[in-house]
Structures are given as C-alpha cells and as structure tokens.
Structure 1
C-alpha cells in the first residue's frame, strides 16, 4: 500500500511540474541579464567615457610642485667645478604647464574614443543576436523533445487502452495468444520510447538552463516558441554592416590624427617659488619665470608617407572583407528562404499523410473490437503513424530552426 501511494505521489509531482511553463522570452531575458560578455562590453563603454573625460582633463593647465637640492663640496681644492655645480643649490617651485592644442585636434582625439564606443555598442548588439540565436536554437530543440515525449505518451495511452480490449478478446478466443504477444511487444517498445524521450527532454532542458545561466534543476514544461519571420532590414541598416562603417571612420580619424602630429606644437609654462645657490642674500631669491616651448617638424625620413601607405592597405583590407561578407550575407539569406519554403511544402504533405493514418487507426481499433482485424495490420498502422508523427515533429522543429537562423540576419 505504501508503494502504491509513493508511485501516485511521484506521478502527481511529475505531472504538476510539467504543468508549469516558461516561455522563450523568459530564457532570453535571463540569458542577457546573466551574460558576463554583455556586462564586460557595457563596462568597456563606461571606461571609454572616462577616457574621453581624461583627454579633456589633460588639456587643462597642469600644476605641480617641484623641489630639488644639491650639495657638492670642494675640499682642499678637490671636487666638482663650482662654476658648474654652484656647490650648493636649493629650489622649490610651483610650476604650471599648458599645452596649446587646436580645437580640431581635440575633437579628433575625442572622436577616437567615441568611435571605439560605437564599436563596443555594435558588438553588444551582435553579441545579443548571437545569444538570442543560441538560446532560441536550444529552446526549439528542447521543445521538440517535449513534443516527442507528449506524442510517445499519447501512443502509450492509446496502446494501453487497446491492450485491455485485446486482452479480453484473446481470452474469448477471438484472437490468438501470439497475436496478443505481438501487440504487447509493440506496447513495451512504445513504453521504452517514452522513457527515452523523457530522458532526452530532461537533457535538452538542462542544457537550455545551462546556456541561460538558470540554476533551477527542476524539470518543467516549456511553452511553444512564438517564432515568426522578422522584417528584413537593408544592409545599410544592418548591425553586421555597421562595423564596416565604423572601421572606415576610424581610418579617416587615424589619418587626421597623423596629420596633427606634423603640426607645430607649443607649450606655455610658468613657475613661482624659491631658487638659490646660497651665495648671499638668499631671502631675495624668491621669484617667478615664464616661457614657452615650440616644436616644428621639418623632416622625419619619410615616415609620414609610409604611415599613409599603411592606412591605405587597411582601407583596402576593409573593402575586401565588406565585399566578401556582403556576398555571403545575401547568399545565406537566399538559401535560408529557399529552405524554409521547401520545409513548409514538406510539412503540408506530412500533415496530410498524418490525417489518413489517424483515420486508418480509428478504423482498425473499431474492427479489432469485432475481431475483424489482423493484429499485424494494427501494428503496421501504429508503426506508420509513429514514423509520420516523428517526421512531422522533425519538420516542424526544422522550420523553427530555419526561421531562427533567418531572423538572426534580420537585425
């Protein structure tokens, strides 16, 4: 009796757990929240904003306190030349240094950081697409396993119901014992397939939780994924082509920054404080000074032209990658659309075939009750139904997977 109630409790617990349901959007939201890559990229963007502020801060006057002291004794005429060392000196200065940089130069430096931020932003969008694709693909796989489990359970329930009828007919000598045993083998095989499909769903569901970062180990049912074709975007608006635009802007920015390195550079400087060699009246050695430094590039041995050639090569490489990717992008989309169309046609055929087999099984079960059916014919019909139903599930899941792959590129 205790064993009976334990089995009933186990079945109730399992049925109740499968009655719950998580949607695809739930796993997508959890995966985005848990993704360390997305968090890392967002931190990189925040870090770039700090770098931009540091560039502007570095262009403000730089103030520092500097102090130095020296004592070089001359003993009995031996020592460093006093004319060079002044024997003993001490200074303490408050200095200010201001780099004079044009606004265009500053803007280009800030633009460098801004373009890097755009790269990270676009990488986040692509990473989210990658994550969405992988999570959706595993969700579809798990849903297919669940559908297979539900179908196998339906078959086992059907066979179990017919088993009771056939058992009575066999006892009444309407069917032979060998007929019943053949049917019983089919029932046992169906029960085995049910156990296998349950284990497969459990594994696929655990993999889905693993990818999304869900730590819950309980096995529950998942809802049917609502996956439809998304609106096609032009390559000019696609996130996959946006990086090529950013790379082009980066090269232009690098060229302008290179030009600025060959512009004259000027720094203004000033200091105030104490600077003395202690030759007398040290209290009068408090003062101030101001000046500037100027640097004008004249000749660099041809490095500038070489840098231009390097940038030209990078632009050529960018164009080659863009052209090749554009070809792959269009070919991939065309291929996926073709596969989806063919899969939809196959699904319609399978659905049609399944209706005929379902009708045949209904007729066979009615004939069996009167003993006018060969058990071999019923078993053959059930096996055909299993094959077609499996094909229906596979074709449905294949269609969802193809749509998921197509939607990946529609962003």
Structure 2
C-alpha cells in the first residue's frame, strides 16, 4: 500500500513538472533584465554624459542679474561714516563673465569623463559575467537535483516490481519471510530518498527563481543546461584586463590635467546697469564696466612634483595588480581545463561500471525467479548500482560546474 501511494505521488509530481519547462537562457535573461545593479550602472553612464554637457555649458558666458541697496542714516550726528557708506546706495546690474581655457585642457576634461563611462561600461560587463555565473551555477545545482530525483523514481519503480515478484515467491515458500522484510526495508529507504530528493529540488528551484528576480512559486522542470567549453579570447581582448588599460589611460590623462592646471588662466567680465549713491543727479548713474583677470602660476611650493609622484605610485600599484591577476588568470584557466579533462575521463569509466552493475541486477532478477539467489546478494547489487549512479550524477554536475567556471572568462 505504501508503495502504491508513493508511486501515485510520483506520477502526480511528474505531471506537475511536465506542465512547464524552463531553459537556462530564460533564467539568465530574466536575471539580467531584473538586476537593479545593472540598471544602476546604466544610469550612472547616462549621468556621466550629462556631466559632459554640464562641462560644456559651464564654459559658455555666464550672465547674471545682480541687485542690491543700502541705507545708513546719520541721526543727530550718530551713524556710519558717509565716506564709507555714502549714506545710501542702490544698484541693479546685468553682468557677464567668461573663462577662457585651452583646447587641450578641454579635450582632457572630456576624455576623463569618457574614460569614466568606459570604466562603468566595463564594470557592467563584469557584473553581467558574475550574474550569469551565479545563475548558471544555481541552475546546474537544481538540474542535478532533478536528475537525482528522476533516478530515485526509477529505482523505486524497479524495486516495486522486484517487491511484487518477491512477495509472490515468499508466499510460495521459495523465500523466507525475513528475506522479504529485508528487501522491503531497502524499498522503504529508497522511497524516503525519493521524497528527500524532491524536497531538495524544490528548494534549489525556488532559490533559482529568487536569484533571477522571478516571483513565481510554481514548479517547473528544468531542461538540460547544454553548456560547452568555450574558446577563450586572448588576454589583450579580455574584458577582465580592460580595466587595467583604462586605468593606465586615466593616469596619463590625469598627468596632462596637472600640466594644464599650471597654464595661465584668463577671465573676462562686463556689466551694465544702474549704480548710484543717490546724492547727486541719480538719474545719470546708468553705465557699464568691463575688465579681465589673468593668473600666471610661477611657484607652487613643489605641489606639482608631489602630484606627479602620487600618479607614479598609482601606476606602480596598477602594474602590480595587473601582474598578480595575470598569474591568477592563467592558473585558473589551466586548473579548470585539467579538472574538466579528468572529469570527462572519469565519466567514461563510470559508464562502463554502470553497464556492469545493470547487467548484474538483470542476472540476479532472473535467478530470483527460480529461487537460486540470496536476497542479500540482490540488495548488494542494488546498492552498488545506486552508488555508481549517484557518482555518475555528481561527476556530470561537477563537470558542468567546472565548464561554467571556465566559461566565466569568455568575454
């Protein structure tokens, strides 16, 4: 009866799983679409473009309306000195000023903003790679749980058939009652394994939805990941080394900006309007004025050399990080390649062992029909088959996870 209930439960679950299938691409695309981090970085790029427009607008003539007034009375000889305050004054002026900068300095400023956008774009690519790797890792984990569940279901079905046969043989006094009970314990253990594998798949499937930003509590069957070992780009074209190039360009541009900051600076201004102390012919105090200011750096106390030294230290740090990551990069690639090859060789050996264990179970089943088999031998054969099959599933999933880690560098 327990077997029948478990079998019906498996059928219902299989039907619910078959109702809908989700692919790896579906979850990867959903995670990229729903990621708030990627949206944030994209908005930062748009903000940087606005900074370029703001820089350009700031170099245009700046026009302002300025107005003010003052009244300082002298009462019975007490009050501010009229020589300073004029007693009262009023002004209403329209002023304009413009700062002139060299074309090279302006290009360096724009280039600095462009490098900032390029860095953000590179961070987006790296974040996408991290997100894809995490989603694929969880997908493979959940897919492995599903394969384990399906295998446990097959084993329960197989043991169920053997249990029916053994029950009949026990009733015919071919086998003892103790033999039947021993086999029944094995069946019940596998039924518990089946329930546990179902729960594990359900939990990892829910976690996959969570990581992908999908609000869905339904149950779906995952299709085979279908990932293969990619051909990695050269180091020069890898997105993982692009940031070191951008940092080098940024430091060179920063040195140019330091140089430009020591160039002469010219600012011109003009205003026009009304400015009067209201003491004599106030109606005539309309006018204009113009002027300029020029700053020529001569000596800064050695600040410029200190800035150069600071940039040199940053360049040295960049080279150290690049060299260290270069060694780590190739170490990881070589290690993953070796482990993938070892897993593939192991899978071939496991498949051979699986054929032997399956053949042994078939032979034992035939011997059991005639009563020429010890039930303990059948249980041992079944346990060996379970061990080999579990090892095959684990090795297959391990191989997919290694390929995923290897393909992480494929950009």
Please confirm whether the aligned pair reaches a TM-score higher than 0.5, indicating the same fold.
yes
Counterpart Cα distance in 2 of 1:162 and 1:16 = 25
The answer for the alignment partner of 1:14 in structure 2 is 13
**Equivalent position of 1:264 in the other structure:** 264
Cα distance change, pair 381–10 in 1 and its aligned pair in 2 (3 A): closer
Find the aligned partners of 1:407 and 1:193 in 2 and give their Cα distance. Answer: 33
SS in 2 for 1:405: helix
* Other-structure match for 1:73: 73
The answer for the alignment partner of 2:385 in structure 1 is 385
Counterparts in 2 of 1:10 and 1:195: CA distance versus 1, 3 Å: closer
Contact 2:72 2:85 in 1 (8 A): yes
1:118 correspondence with 2:106: no
Q: What CA distance in whole angstroms lies between the structure 1 residues aligned with 2:57 and 2:124? A: 28
1:341 alignment partner in structure 2: 341
Query: By how many angstroms is 1:82 displaced?
Result: 2.1
Return the alpha-carbon distance in structure 2 between the equivalents of residues 84 and 296 of structure 1: 33
Listed one character per residue, the Cα deviations across residues 245-285 of structure 1 (whole Å, up to 9, x for unaligned) are: 11111111111111111111111111111111112221211
Could you tell me which runs of 5 or more consecutive residues in structure 2 were left unpaired when the two chains were aligned.
none
Q: CA deviation at 1:81?
A: 2.6
Q: Paired residue for 2:167? A: 167
Please tell me whether residue 62 in structure 1 is matched to residue 62 in structure 2: yes
Structure 1 residue 365, shift from structure 2 partner: 1.1
Residue 340 of structure 1: SS of its match in structure 2? helix
CA distance in 1, matches of 2:9, 2:145: 21
Structure 1 residue runs without a partner (length 5+): 1-5
Output aligned runs, 1:35-54, within 5 Å: 35-54=35-54
Aligned to 2:153: 153
Residue in structure 2 matched with residue 238 of structure 1 by the alignment: 238
Shift of residue 146, structure 1, vs aligned partner: 0.5
Residue correspondences, number? 406
Shift of 1:76: 3.6
Deviates more, 1:277-286 or 1:239-248: 277-286
- The corresponding residue for 1:3 is none
1:196-235 correspondence to structure 2 within 5 Å: 196-235=196-235
TM-score by length of 2: 0.96
Q: Structure 2 vs 1, CA of residues 189 and 359 (structure 1 numbering), >3 Å: closer, same or farther?
A: same
1:107 Cα offset (Å): 1.1
**Offset of 1:350 from its aligned partner?**
0.5
In the other structure, the counterpart of 1:306 is 306
Asked if the contact 2:41–2:124 (Cα under 8 Å) also holds between the matched residues in 1, the reply is yes
CA contact (8 A) 2:6 2:191 kept: no
CA apart distance, 1:187: 0.6
Deviates more, 1:385-394 or 1:347-356: 347-356
Q: Residues 226 and 17 of structure 1: is their aligned pair in 2 closer, same or farther, counting only changes over 3 Å?
A: same
| Counterparts of 2:71 and 2:272, CA distance in 1 | 22
Q: Mean Cα displacement is larger for which, 11-20 or 242-251?
A: 11-20
1:18-42 superposed Cα distances (whole Å, 9 cap, x missing partner) = 1021001111011111111111101
TM-score with structure 1 length normalisation? 0.96
Distance in structure 2 (CA, Å) of the matches to 1:287 and 1:10:
96
> CA-to-partner distance for each residue in 1:30-72, whole Å, 9 max, x for gaps?
1111111111101101111111110001001101000111122
